[in-house]
Structure 1
Amino acid sequence: MTDMMLIGLYALAAAGVVGLAGAAVLRLLRRRSILVHVIAMLVITVLAVVAGVATVAQAMFLSGHDLWVVLVTVTAAASISLLLGAAFGRRLASAAVWAQAARERERRLEASRRELVAWVSHDLRTPLAGMRAMAEALEDGVIADRDTLAEYHRRIRVETDRMTRLVDDLFELSRINAGALRLVPTVVPLRDVVSDAIAGVAPLAARRNITLRARETGWPTVRAGERELARIVTNLLVNSVRYTPEHGFVDIEAGHERGSVWLSISDTCGGIPAEDIDRVFDVAFRGQRARTPPGGGGLGLAIVRGLVEAHGGNVEVCNTGHGCRFEVRLPVSA
């Protein structure tokens, strides 16, 4: 029993020395990655075992041959442990990176939600206050002039339409974010979708003296949800028309390339500031005050990105010589 206690004390002392040195090394590595920490801990553990075995072997007066047999056996087992530990460390490091990215994404989403609530509150409060004032004036009979009455009715209808569009956008965005969007893919001629979108946006473009120009030929077909695809094209067109100064141009093109269908909408808005271009598709982002169009809820481009990604595609924006260019790419079998 006394011999066993001595052997244990020898092994504990040797391993303790290595452990203290290892703790100092880990302290120096505290700013390094998780993978480095895992490998360092495994190396320290293996060295502690080797030190304990070597010390006990010396205390037991083992022959050199027997000592080498023990050390080779420990080294072989340690090599397997290090390999497995390195693999586990890489997976753990990847999981940590993913968790950090998820936390950052959640933080951005929460900031976007707060900003969205602020924008929606403002966009609803202003027209509601005006409609309430006009309704009270009509109810009290203080307006007798027929032209003024007609103008009040027109403004109430306009503000109602504006709030309806905002509520529709919020509903669409909530379906996208909740994963409740259900696509019904069909083969859709892109030319027909673009023609309908141009017809719907034409009155807005005419009021601002903006020319809409679409390619005459070469329009591909794509398998996509027809309603969602129409929403994508219309939102992009409305966005370009709103931001393009009077007497500007908006060009629509499309094509087929490397197993995908692309659609581009270019305008002469003057370009997007470099600090804003990465936030264009964020919820409720509407850019600088001078570039904020009347009646915009800041949701149109966020809906575009959500619908495009639901089809397995992607949407990008870049500045061109006199404006910016939005490009949507959808897989042929979206």
Structure 2
Amino acid sequence: MKLLLLTIVFVMISEVFIYVPSLAYFRNTWLIDRLERASIALRVSEGSGNFDMLSDSTAQDILEELGIQTIAIQNEGSRRLIAMSDMPAMVTSEFNTAILEPVNAIMEAMQSLLFGNSRTTRVVGQAKGLTGPDGKPVEIEIVLKEDKLHAAMLAHSINILQLSLVISIITASLVFLSLRALFVRPFRRVTRNMVHFSEDPEDPARVIAKSRRGDEIGIAQNQLAEMQTELQTMLGEKRTLADLGLAVSKINHDLRNILASAVLFSDRLQAIDDPVVQRFTPKLVRALDRAIDYCQSTLSYGRAREAPPAIRVVQLQTLVLEVSDALGLDSEQAVRFESHVGRDFTVDADPDQLFRVLLNLSRNALEAMKTNGTEMADSVVNCLTIRAWSEDRSDCITVSDTGPGVPDELRATLFKAFQSSSGPGGTGLGLAIAAELVRAHDGSLTLDQTGQGASFTVRLPVRRDIRDPIAAETATQATLRVVKSDTGHGA
């Protein structure tokens, strides 16, 4: 309805620009018509070209019939009065048919429309069919009151108003129906679908159908359909992750209890007087403690969000040996393990989180090399190498293997969860977890572009407040004591 009313108003406004010139044209035509009628009357009443004063009865009849006050003719510079009423009014405006200026005509028309009852106009023009004694054309002049012109202009304005109103309604209706069919109804369909879709975004039946239109509305409808589809996909993934998170929380809860029972059994193993048992029991206890702590942190945060790292000075060689023991590399015959980490090399990190980073990288390397070994000759030597060095106020740790390397199509999503896995039984979480833990240390995990195998580099920033010599020495000694106690050796 608003669109219809606005269209009518706009059409009426446009009619104003047509009405004003047409009103001026109507006034000019009306005055010229009175002038021509006066000429005809004179030509009928005076058959000859000698214009004497008309008889009183004839003059009054002409004046009353034409609604004018005086009639005069001009010939050879002389002016002769032909007919005149008893009391002609004072002339307030003049109209000459030989001078028709559009702007002046519009202004005079508006004056006549507003103040026509009090105006008297002299109209001058060439008389058609009338000539003087010398045979030359004469000019005729009439003086009239504009009351009849005013009434005629009012009637003309009312007719134009009525006609404009009818045209406006018809035009507005056609425009309204066209806009409604082309724009309003499609937009309403889109908005209704948006409201309907918001009530249940996961229902595939609520996705709007794509349009075949090539205009802006069709593009908007197609984009809305794509966004709704993407939103449903995202909601489905989030729902799956939420269900997975709940399942993991339940599993962690029960697994923590099972691991606690395993710790109790491992404590009993320490009482067995066997050198082998005494050697491996601390490692088993340490691994169980790590598993329990990780399960507890997962339950505490309610999701797989890592706790902020407790950064301190850590002897890297100790962590590398623990990773080797956890993966059983000392007894692995198919893979050769090489550690190029100095005994005194230390890094600023959370030892448990850095252990998980190196463990995930090393485990992925082993899985890759196992897959590579089934496809290559037995003479191929599979080697896992860990190196460490310092540069540009950063500590760098590289885990390299001699496997098949990383395919080019996986490089873009290598560190995203569930995007890549090292084998058919993998989850695609190892690299994502490692990258997240390294970022928590304000470091970076990158894949080096090597010709053979894969090489991952961990960069950790050097922290000045931790790298105090006394604090570093104290922390290193504490780490060594913990490691020796884990391995069963005395201090």
Give TM-score scaled by structure 2 length. 0.34
**Highest relative contact order (Cα 8 Å, sep 6+), 1 or 2?**
1
When you count helix as a share of all residues, which structure comes out higher?
A: 1
Q: Quick check: which has more Rg, 1 or 2? A: 2
Give TM-score scaled by structure 1 length. 0.46
